[in-house]
Structure 1
Amino acid sequence: MSKEQLESEVLDTKSPGSHEYDLKHRNSIVLVPQPSDDPNDPLNWPQHKKYTILAILSVTAFSGLASSLANQLGLEAQAELYGKSLTELSYTVSAAVAGIAAGPLFIVPLAHVFGRASVIFWTLLGCIACGVWSAEMTGPDQYIGFVLSRLFGGVFGSVPSILGAQMLMDLFFLHERGRVFTTFHMCFLMGTVAGPTFGGFVVQHVAWQFEFWWTVALQGAVALMVLIFLPEIGFTRDAGKVYPKQPEGFLANRVATFLPGTKVAHRDGLREAPRSAVAQFLIGFSPTGLLVGIYAFGFFGWFVSVNTLLTVFLQEPEIAGGYGFEPQQNAAFSFALWIGVICAQVWGSIFNDRIPMKLAKKAGGLWKPEYRLHSLWIPSTFFMPIGLGIFGAALEYHLHYMVLALGSFLITFAAFCSIPVGINYLIECYMDHPTEVACIMGTYRLTLGLIVPFFKDQWIDSVGVGWVFGMMAFFSLFAFSLVVVLMFYGHSLRQIRFGILSKDEEGMKVTDQDQQSFS
């Protein structure tokens, strides 16, 4: 971007009440963080370049999670091969979820040493290898090997969805993050729905191994796209990480970025990696991290449980309380979840920036991270508990499968509305640790869904299937009450934290009262 283009994109205007320096604006919005005057600053990159990177990161994260859960609707064929029940085969899905939850805690800190783009690329190759491994587990005595392939597929497949958060923080301003994080999270969470759907159509017509071969082909194409187009996004700011100058030639830049990437990573990577590993847990046990984490645990966790067990409910024979679906019927049913994801994307695009910016304007233009949380009221208090109630009633009274689809839609919509807001809020509480926030929150939101399949039968036997989901509805309301605590007492709770996590954006000027409102 030329100096003239940069000046036309970002306007300098005097902030009301400020006599020390000019604040840079875009239209009526004060740019937070304030960009430097260097065209190489990622904040100053043209919008088309930023959104291209967003698209690459979104597709990469989508492919990783789609591959991890690709066999979810092929359980019946695999159960016949290995001589296991459908519930036992659902443990392979639980293994993938465990990998998705725990894998980033160990792999993501390496990005400080090797660079984020490099770690994304090499974990994509690892995910491809796991897809091949799963497809080759065709012997009746290879159940354990199949479970392990799914575990490591989840470990590698989850990494792009975590590292993308840090890269997007480096690219976009505060007033853009709601839409950006919504788009990114909807894309990679869509992978958890699309992977099983495509797998269900595949396994109906060809051998179940092709559930994995199509993901291998997809990820090969995505890895090539990352290799050619994804830059390492790093820029040296005042008192921040120091990044080396990257080679300008295409081939030299690609070699420096991916083989293995240490030449473009920040210079304190070896010391920062263990700090990053520790910071994940410090964030997770800080008051704000704990409250948002329990909310994700007891809210999104029910969606994970429903999504993991949906195949069991739908494909079990009617005499056993199921619907007797074939894999293709199951795949068609999953479009109810797709619609929920799409509606959550629309909802987030409309409200996740607009509501907090309106609240900031009412507060004189000063920012508080807690403003983000107010877009959760309707999804959390209305759609999730009602969806869980409808889902449980449909199973209890064996209602038409379209009633079950309605419950699935509402659960998916509410759950997918919750994740971008919660993560965006915590990232703005811990500005120097967006990757660590994404890591630990992934563990929180997936853990409950991981363990429910192991005691599902005992829970149903104790209270009945209807009340299982009725209890989930009440638990989800309790989980949201913790977010309400943050809305009113978040400022005080943010002061109770570990010293290395002290940076947030509270008090930043985001709108000017004498300029037009955000819309």
Structure 2
Amino acid sequence: MSEEKTELAIEPTSTAAPPSPGSTSDAPDSPKFQKVEDGIVLIPRPLDDPRDPLNWPFRKKCVITGVLSLALFAGYAAPFCGQLNLVQQSVLYHKTTVQITYFNSASSAGLAAGGWFYSPLALKFGRSAVIFYSLLGCLAAQIWAPMMTGAGDYWSYFGSRFLAGFFGMVVSVLGPRYLVDMFFLHQRGRAFTIFQAALNIGASAGPTFSGFIAANLYWPVEYWWSVAILAFTAIIVFLFLEETTFDRREGAVNATPTENWFSNRIQTFFPFLPGNTVIKPATLGEIATVAIMPFKIAISPVILMIAGFDAISFGFYVALNALTPVWLQKPVKAGGYGFTITDNAAFTMVHWFGFLFGIVYGQLVSDRLPLWLASRKGGVWKPEYRLHALWFTNLFLMPLGLGLVGCALQYHLHYMVFALGQFFVTIGSMVSIPVTVNYVAECFRSHTIEATIPVNSMRLFLGLSINFYANAWIAKVNIGWFYGMMAFFCVFAFGFLVVLMAWGHIIRQWTPFGLGEDEEGEHVVDGKSNLAV
């Protein structure tokens, strides 16, 4: 993403008769009024208003994206800090190691449930304020968890994991709207890749960092680094996060934030004070409408198909992460690898290599590939072009990775085979989330937050539930086919994307309640573009 250097496009030469007065050719969105950067049409067209986030300096956009990514990282790391210390907690609470993994399901349940509450709260108080206070709620849950050191504290600890997920996921729902507000169509793929990478890295950093910290210590100590990072993140959010709400509709009235930094911070983060707000006041009816909207969007065929794909691909990734400590720490004579907590923490570095590959792949492909596809169709945009980035990672790498994990456990192959499988699965998850979230955001341009809520929740349902029936599934088919069937399910789920690639335009027309709004048909690439964006 380069610094925005925009210029008015030259009106294209045409042999047609000049437009009559008042025709749509003179509308602000017509080609002669469009702005172009290096052969790429800027969509949406920025208004001549410095308050429009599209006009903000690129470095300011990067700072806000960085703040959101840090908050997403901290929020997703928090619920999974206790993922590796199974033995100590099983002895303390008198539970089996599999029952201890239920804590991961509690975290996932919190992640799935939280988003349904944040959209109406954001409309009332502003997205930035909701993010700030949710981080403080997650901080409180992280302080609560290490205090649960009594034999009867199993369910209290369980509750702390639920609340850590409930509050920690706030940015995954509200964050995408910031990116859509600040970045142009041809920049969003890379912006979403960086942003969503923070989610995956956070979910992996929780067990990795905590495992190294508590390897030779009692388990409560593994939480305090998360407490520190959440406190630091809340401060950074307070200092740098800004509202990106801006209404581009003709005749719309937008608030002008105060130029005084301290007054701006008070207005942004203390909206409950009388007359103290940086967003438009919302009526109770508007809040109720927004609260109901995710349920309406959830029955859209596009959402159901994307959620079905995500539920399987990301759900199996979550399930793999939750169960891997069980297999690695199980004694060798019982079919495991006999890893210590330190060994297990070191093993999770496999995810970090997967994240690195996924970030590089996303930066290279997520915008270039769809723009190239658009250029082959006369420069006209279709949201489904985004999905083509997943052929390699999710139809090939992810099923292969799950198959390798199953083979490694079934035939007790070297743990590096297990690691290679994890690497491939991580890449598939790392790449698929930003692509699908970006696609959904572009299918529901005016309702980005409400559209991401059901997708975020649905993709977690499988991951949070699988621990409860994993043993029964394995008993039916053996450990190899437990993961082998997951691989075939991933191939099946990719079929949903293939259907959207082929007939997405028709399927999007079936969105109920008239809530769908996308940028299909926009001319995004002109004849001078070299696609070096």
TM-score range, shorter-chain basis? Answer: over 0.9
Deviation at 1:274, TM superposition (A): 2.5
CA distance in 2, matches of 1:404, 1:304: 16
Deviation at 1:14, TM superposition (A): 2.9
TM-score, normalisation: structure 1:
0.96
> Mapping of 1:248-263 within 5 angstroms?
248-260=259-271, 263=277
CA distance in 1, matches of 2:71, 2:203: 13
Aligned to 2:91: 80
3-state DSSP class of the match of 1:204? coil
Residues 242 and 267 in structure 1, CA contact (< 8 A), matched pair in contact too = no
Aligned to 1:41: 52
Letter paired with 2:404: I
Residues 232 and 264 in structure 1, CA contact (< 8 A), matched pair in contact too = yes
Aligned to 1:9: 5
3-state DSSP class of the match of 1:342? helix
CA distance in 2, matches of 1:377, 1:241: 42
3-state DSSP class of the match of 1:205? coil
1:184 aligns with 2:199: no
1:283 aligns with 2:283: no
3-state DSSP class of the match of 1:209? helix
Aligned to 1:294: 308
3-state DSSP class of the match of 2:374? helix
CA distance in 2, matches of 1:96, 1:151: 5
Deviation at 1:417, TM superposition (A): 1.0
Residues 430 and 502 in structure 1, CA contact (< 8 A), matched pair in contact too = yes
Aligned to 2:424: 410
1:1-31: per-residue Cα shift (whole Å, max 9, x none)? xxxxx9x822111353785342111121100
Percent identity over the alignment is 44
Residues 112 and 270 in structure 1, CA contact (< 8 A), matched pair in contact too = no
Aligned to 1:215: 226
TM-score, normalisation: structure 2:
0.93
Task: Decide which of 481, 487, 497 is 1:473's aligned counterpart.
Answer: 487
> Mapping of 1:227-238 within 5 angstroms?
227-238=238-249
> Mapping of 1:194-343 within 5 angstroms?
194-238=205-249, 243-260=254-271, 263-268=277-282, 270-343=284-357
Stretches of 4+ aligned residues off by more than 6 angstroms? none
Distance verdict in 2 for CA 1:206–1:108, change over 3 Å: farther
Aligned to 1:161: 172
3-state DSSP class of the match of 2:233? helix
Deviation at 1:279, TM superposition (A): 2.1
Letter paired with 2:380: L
3-state DSSP class of the match of 1:25? strand
Distance verdict in 2 for CA 1:237–1:86, change over 3 Å: same
CA distance in 2, matches of 1:307, 1:432: 35
Letter paired with 2:513: G
Across the aligned residues of Structure 1 and Structure 2, the Cα RMSD in angstroms comes to 1.7
Distance verdict in 2 for CA 1:242–1:325, change over 3 Å: farther
Aligned to 2:399: 385
> Mapping of 1:472-511 within 5 angstroms?
472-511=486-525
3-state DSSP class of the match of 2:219? coil
> Does 69-78 or 353-362 show the bigger shift?
69-78
3-state DSSP class of the match of 2:243? coil
CA distance in 1, matches of 2:109, 2:50: 42
1:426 aligns with 2:440: yes
1:368 aligns with 2:379: no
Task: Decide which of 82, 91, 116 is 1:71's aligned counterpart.
Answer: 82
1:96 aligns with 2:127: no
Distance verdict in 2 for CA 1:511–1:312, change over 3 Å: same
1:154-197: per-residue Cα shift (whole Å, max 9, x none)? 00000022211111111000000000001100112210001110
CA distance in 1, matches of 2:270, 2:314: 37
The answer for unaligned runs of 5 or more in structure 1 is 1-5
1:398-441: per-residue Cα shift (whole Å, max 9, x none)? 11111110110001111111111111111111101111222211
Deviation at 1:514, TM superposition (A): 4.1
> Does 234-243 or 110-119 show the bigger shift?
234-243
CA distance in 2, matches of 1:304, 1:242: 44
Letter paired with 1:258: F
Residues paired across the two proteins, number:
513
